[in-house]
Amino acid sequence: MKSTLMHPGFLVLTTLSFCIFSPDELWLTRAQGSSMDVAAGVNLSFQDNYVVISNGIVQITLSNPQGYVMAIQYNGINNLLDVINERNDRGYWDVVWSDWGDNGTTGSMERLEGTHCDVIVQTEEQVELSFSRMWTYSIKRKLVPLKIDKRFILLRGSSGFYTYAILEHLAEWPSFNLDYTRLVFKLRRDKFHYMAVSDHRKRDMPSAVDRSSERSKRLDYPEAVLLVNPIEQQFKGEVDDKYQYTCELKDLGVHGWISKDPLVGFWHITPSNEFKVGGPTKPELTSHVGPTTQTLFSSAHYGGNDMVLKFGKGELWNKVFGPIFIYLNTISKTKDLLMLWDDAKNQMFVEVKKWPYDFLASKDFQSASQRGTVTGTLLVLDRFITGSHSIPAKGAYVGLAPPGDVGSWQRENKKYQFWTKTNENGYFSIPNIIDGEYNLYAWVPGFIGDFRNSKIIDITPRVNINLGDLIYEPPREGPTLWEIGFPDRTAAEFSVPDPDPKYLNKFLLNYGPDRYRQYGLWDRYAELNPLHDLVYTIGKSNYTRDFFFAHVLRKTGIGAYAVTTWTIRFSNYNFNKSETYVLRLALASAHKANIQVRINDLQKLPLFSTGIIGGDNAIARHGIHGLYWLFNIEIPGTELYSDGMNSIYLTQANNGSHFQGVMYDYIRLEARQTRH
């Protein structure tokens, strides 16, 4: 059965399907065969340089005072984490950071290490531990200028534990860039071989040694390798790349690994997206070969440098990341291992329902009673689609994010965001909003552009604000003369080619919409268009078949790439020389690209250039979108022919390296027509 669930402060999870089992089929998340009493209270014990918490189901050992997760004991397995690794390399929080002024998306990796361990809560019901560190200047060891407080919570009867972190930058501390913030677990390589990140992407996985240079061949970038001589021959000839396992945040409620002997699942459950960055459609890494499983809280993935948190002089900042629930499950009798996946999905819904959790001790995490709700109805008025009346904006994404410009939410990365989707009537309700000031933002599949309600919304405890009817009027000057694609901020509707058989990954064949995740599609453009660039004729061509999903460069030699020019041809439109026409160019992604627009004469200077834009790297990362861009370009009627064929030339003119290019979302030519 398909379920749709409103994720509090989050989004609808529509891609996950729920399974209901009869009571005797109930997978027991409690440890089977364990002699301990499952209803036991939570124990805490301090040893030499570590601390152990247990509840009879799970036992967690943390280094003291660093707060590294050294061991997780469950279901008779002494440690689910990889004991071959050093004790600070099994379960940890880390950041990648760089000095102020650095424009990149990389820096140095630092595991967040506590210097104090405090017991925040210790009852039979719950233990909450804090591993914290102040920041001080040190010549010997340069540390990220953040105050760190990592928390771990174990509840009575719970088959797993919660972890969250409070990070703080004080005004007097150095400026710096925070590129990535993560929670990572490295699981036992002898046990965890099966990975699940979504209903359609779950499989036996190659092992970490299969990626070694003896067993694999590096492809276009280090993350992607061809498995030439894997330990298990079934993986021979497959590509391995962690970016094939990314999910959009809205679909990333649960992911993890399964051990087949004994049957144990290890899952990251994300109960809310309020603490993530970039909005509901930002793609993010999940689990990958290792076996590694992680949650990224902030990252440059599919956004580039714009997504890096830059802390300037005097900037005071504080944010709660998480909690994430690390959920462990098992089944008594040997049954289908996918029951563990189904159970983990069920548990994800359980956690979502409990949001915001009422058992966190930190004052920085707001309880339900400190939060507010915003409701309203979004309508859309585009007189050339909806007529003179507005219609409900169905399935629109509506979110509260810090005050900013139209569309600013997709680059916002320091505060909290709260998103949902409208129902059939355009109605939305966003509960559990942390106090503070926001704008309401939205975008509507089927319509271009971004909505922002200019009113500043002030959320105070328990407030319930009904915004009534909000009307989005997308950019529009006149009737559509022609259009290519569907405006929904992805290139998924265009022609996504079959992969080169050398790089085919069979697991991506299970589900048609995953086609774009295959490796090497960027080189398929030139292979499929060897003699000339893409020509698309309005009225004849079909964008599903004939419009390549990414406007890439043409490889001409080693390190050499030719500029490519796509042509859109159209005729018989009776253009009026005294009128102006408008070209809507919506991009789903851009990476160091410069799209030049010329009309009917390739030799002339461009009528319009985007300039060099983007750094989302979605082409190389098997994405179908990165950040959204909309360009509105005026074309004087004098440039167009009323009789004969017109051509709009789109040139990707920046040809320095392999992965430069754009993905179009949607292109439309409009007449400009004044309202009568």
Ligand X SMILES: *[C@@H]1O[C@H](CO)[C@@H](O)[C@H](O)[C@H]1NC(C)=O
What does DSSP assign to residue 25?
G
Q: What does the per-residue mask of binding to ligand X show for 641-660, with x meaning CB under 6 A?
A: --------------xx----
- In 3D space, the residue among 569, 167, 654 whose CA is nearest the CA of residue 362 turns out to be 167
Residue 545 sits in the site that holds ligand X (CB under 6 A)? yes
What length does the chain have? Answer: 676
Sign of CA dihedral 460, 461, 463, 467: positive
x/- letters, 593..632, toward ligand X (CB under 6 A): ----------------------------------------
Contact call for residues 77 and 32 (beta carbons, < 8 A): no
Least distance in angstroms from the C-beta of 212 to ligand X: 32
Task: Please select the residue that binds ligand X; options are 243, 561, 566, 575, rule is CB under 6 A.
Answer: 561
Give min distance, CB of 341 to ligand X, in A. 28
Report the distance separating Cα 409 and Cα 31, nearest Å.
43
Within 93-112, the residues that bind ligand X by CB under 6 A are: 101, 103
Specify the residue, 57 or 457, whose C-beta has the smaller distance to ligand X.
57
Sign of the torsion angle spanned by Cα atoms 84, 87, 93, 98 = negative
Contact region for ligand X (CB under 6 A) — 366-374, 466-474, 500-508, 560-568? 560-568
Q: Is 334 helix (H, G, I), strand (E, B) or coil?
A: coil
Question: Does residue number 563 form part of the binding site for ligand X (CB under 6 A)?
Answer: yes
Element (H, E) at 546: helix 543-546
CB of 576 to ligand X, least distance (A): 4
Name the one range near ligand X by CB under 6 A: 12-20, 35-43, 115-123, 314-322: 35-43
Measured CA to CA, the distance from residue 31 to residue 12 in angstroms comes to 32
Shortest approach of ligand X to residue 627 CB, angstroms?
A: 16
The answer to whether 579 contacts ligand X (rule: CB under 6 A) is yes
State in angstroms the smallest separation of the CB of 603 from ligand X.
15
- CB nearer to ligand X: give 212 or 544: 544
Residue 185 sits at φ, ψ, to 5 deg, of -130, 135
For residues 156 and 242, which CB has a smaller minimum distance to ligand X in the complex? 156
* Binding status of residue 234 toward ligand X by CB under 6 A: no
User: How are beta strands 613-615 and 580-593 bridged, if at all?
Assistant: antiparallel
DSSP 88-133: TSSEEEEEEEEETT--SS--EEEE---SEEEEEEESSSEEEEEEEE
Give the CB-side neighbour count of residue 563, counting CA atoms within 13 A: 11
* Beta-carbon contacts of residue 290 (< 8 Å; ≥ 6 apart): 186, 187, 189, 208
The span from the CA of 654 to the CA of 593, in Å, is 6
By 3-state DSSP, what share of the chain in percent is helix, strand and coil, each rounded to 5? 10, 40, 50
78 lines the binding site for ligand X (CB under 6 A): no
CB of 233 or CB of 578, closer to ligand X: 578
Q: Interacting stretch for ligand X, rule CB under 6 A, among 204-212, 216-224, 373-381, 574-582? A: 574-582
CB of 157 to ligand X, least distance (A): 10
Q: Does 542 bind ligand X (CB under 6 A)?
A: yes
E runs forming strands in 385-450 = 391-392, 397-401, 418-421, 427-433, 436-443
Note whether 478 and 446 are within 8 A (CB): no
Question: Hey, what amino acid is at 659?
Answer: F
Which one of the spans 308-316, 539-547, 588-596, 622-630 is the region binding ligand X (CB under 6 A)? 539-547
Return the residue matching tokens 């774009």.
516
Position among 560, 602, 611, 634 found at the interface with ligand X (CB under 6 A) = 560
Which of these ranges, 50-58, 137-145, 203-211, 530-538, lies near ligand X under the rule CB under 6 A?
50-58
By CB under 6 A, residue 56 contacts ligand X: yes
The one segment of 36-44, 227-235, 251-259, 594-602 that binds ligand X by CB under 6 A: 36-44
Q: Which of 32, 34, 43, 567 forms a contact with ligand X (CB under 6 A)? A: 43
Exactly one of 576, 580, 600, 632 binds ligand X (CB under 6 A); which one? Answer: 576
Angle CA(656)–CA(659)–CA(665) in degrees, nearest 5? 120
Binding part of the chain for ligand X, among 2-10, 219-227, 352-360, 561-569 by CB under 6 A, reads 561-569
Stretch that binds ligand X, among 201-209, 264-272, 455-463, 573-581 (CB under 6 A): 573-581
Minimum CB distance to ligand X, residue 643 (Å) = 14
Minimum distance between the CB of residue 123 and ligand X, rounded to whole angstroms?
A: 13
Sign of the torsion angle spanned by Cα atoms 423, 8, 250, 490: positive
Cβ contacts of 234 within 8 Å, gap of 6 or more: 204
To the nearest whole angstrom, how small is the minimum distance from the Cβ of residue 563 to ligand X? 5
Instruction: Give whichever of 228 and 509 is closer to ligand X, judged by the CB atom.
Output: 509
DSSP per residue over 434-491, as a string?
PSEEEEEEEE-TTS-S-EEEEEEEEE-TT-EEEEEEEEE--S-SS-EEEEEE-SSS--
| Beta strands 535-537 and 564-571, pairing class | parallel
Please tell me whether residue 512 binds ligand X under the rule CB under 6 A. no
Q: In this chain, which stretch among 91-99, 291-299, 326-334, 559-567 interacts with ligand X, using CB under 6 A?
A: 559-567
State residue 516 phi and psi, 5-degree precision.
-65, -10
CB of 588 to ligand X, least distance (A): 19
Instruction: Please state the closest distance from residue 228 (CB atom) to ligand X, in A.
Output: 29
Count the residues of the shown chain that bind ligand X, applying the rule CB under 6 A: 20
Closest of 549, 577, 559, 579 to residue 664, by C-alpha: 549
Tell me: does residue 40 bind ligand X (CB under 6 A): yes
Looking at beta carbons only, is 110 or 579 nearer to ligand X? 579
Q: Which residues bind ligand X (CB under 6 A)?
A: 36, 40, 43, 54-56, 101, 103, 542, 544-545, 560-563, 576, 578-579, 655-656
